[in-house]
Structure 1
Amino acid sequence: MTELFLADTSALVRYFRRQSDPNWDHVVAAGRIGICEPVRQEYLRAAGARSAYYEADSLLQETFPYYVVRDDVWDGTAALQHRLAEKSWHQSASPVDLLVAATAAHHELTVLHADTDFETIARLTGQPVRRID
């Protein structure tokens, strides 16, 4: 089975800055890396001028499949944060990290990241994660 990914913002930043292995270009071209709305918004928040925002948004839409964040994913984020709190790890993952992890779990995707918070989540949940390095 071909591995499919949900990219975190940290992975997008590394990818677009060319700070990742060039082999990821083939994975992107094959449509195997997608994004979700929280990642899209977080990435676009860093865009400079208005024109840069629209260019970046178009690039994201043309390049990456889009995975919907279902309403019930919020329940998953609350449960995940609670589980992290049981280990005193609750301050590691941001709300966006929790949404990405829960969305990836819902769609049975591997989280692609450059953020150690996803390693922490994976230690707890066992869900697949992979660094983009």
Structure 2
Amino acid sequence: MPQSAVARALEPLMLDKMLAVCTVTELEVLYSARDPAGYELDALHLRSDFLHLPIDADVQERALHVQGMLARKSQHRAVGANDLLIAACAEVHGATILHYDRDFDVIAEVTGQPSLWVVPPGSVS
């Protein structure tokens, strides 16, 4: 099977240990596991191949603050709680969000934090 565009984009960053996840990201990835063996393999991969950023009190407070910023623009329902926590975690820890989800663009518009599409929008089916 040919390597996907997303895998090609992520591989060099992963090899250089430049990718990070937080617990929310892990939960979202592991939710998609098809069976117990796949779950365990994915969990091992996440723990061994990615840096881990904690979701601490500062991250939680930032997520709430950003949701408030969005509410003042009547956009607080445009972004889910998980994406708010992931974005806040990246921002608090000085990381760039690498994503394939327009919600992170909405967040970045109010926070000014760095956010990059892993591949161009609309290029993955």
TM tier, shorter chain? 0.7 to 0.9
Unaligned runs of 5+ in 1: 1-16
Unaligned runs of 5+ in 2: 120-125
Q: Which residue in 1 is equivalent to 2:5?
A: 19
Which is higher, the Rg of structure 1 or of structure 2? 2
| TM-score, scaled relative to structure 2 | 0.88
CA shift at 1:21, angstroms?
6.5
**1:31-50 counterparts in 2 under 5 A?**
31-50=17-36
Which structure has more relative contact order (CA 8 Å, sep 6+)? It is: 1
1:68-113, Cα deviation, whole Å (9 max, x unpaired) = 1112321111111111011111111111100011111110110110
Between the aligned partners of 2:28 and 2:109, the Cα distance in structure 1 is: 25
1:28–1:63: 8 Å Cα contact kept in structure 2?
A: yes
CA shift at 1:23, angstroms?
4.2
Greater strand share, structure number: 1
Deviant stretches of 4+, over 3 Å: none
Between the aligned partners of 1:40 and 1:24, the Cα distance in structure 2 is: 16
1:21–1:132: 8 Å Cα contact kept in structure 2?
A: no
**1:1-133 counterparts in 2 under 5 A?**
18-20=4-6, 22-133=8-119
The number of residue pairs the alignment matches comes to 117
Query: Sequence identity, in percent?
Result: 29
